[in-house]
Amino acid sequence: MSFARSAFLAVSLLSTSALAGPRVALETGLGTVVVELADRQAPITSRNFLRYVEAGKFDGTSFYRAARSKRDPKQGFVQGGIDHNYKRAFFSIDHEPTSKTGLKHVDGTISMARNAPGTAMGDFFITVGPAPYLDARPGYPGYAAFGRVVSGMEVVKRILAVPTWIGRGSGSVKDQLIIKRVPILRAHRLP
């Protein structure tokens, strides 16, 4: 390999890592999941998530929802965080739809849970498999994707597979509440 090509390759690799967003490790009772935040594309949502991490607000919480697809139960999403505990909550944030950020809900996307746009606080979900139905489109605000899993996707899949209460919950969470919640022992930013 020529010197010029080697130098170009080295600069390209440095540029790629320099563009990488902050990484956060979610240590759970089933293993660790590492997510990389898209802080340039979704700055409001990424800052909000990091604020919860740095304040220790996710420590001692759990993954409490496993929403499996009816067509393929190995796909869907898992939801975790403060579970609407307002004692742990910061104020809600502005909605950053995927139509604004350019991000998509693909396999391993981390996104903010919310009721209406502008109500997201400290609950998030991670997709297993593609979930384009969560992306914004005309007449539908979608959800605010803000990063992706870079390691530990097997842990996310194990969480998706844990037993849920059948017949419990209402509306969109019916049959999706995890019987034995998966603890988030610690969430911390990686160097």
User: For 51-100, what is each residue's pLDDT tens digit?
Assistant: 999 999 999 999 999 999 999 999 999 999 999 999 999 999 999 999 99
| Cα–Cα distance for residue pair 50/99, rounded to 1 Å | 22
Q: Phi, psi (5° rounding) for residue 28?
A: -115, 170
Note if the pTM is more than 0.85: yes
Question: Residue 168 — pLDDT band, cuts 50, 70, 90?
Answer: confident
| Cα–Cα distance for residue pair 26/189, rounded to 1 Å | 9
> In this structure, what is the dihedral angle of CA atoms 162, 78, 108, 91, given to the nearest 10 degrees?
-150
Nearest to 105 by CA among 143, 131, 74: 131
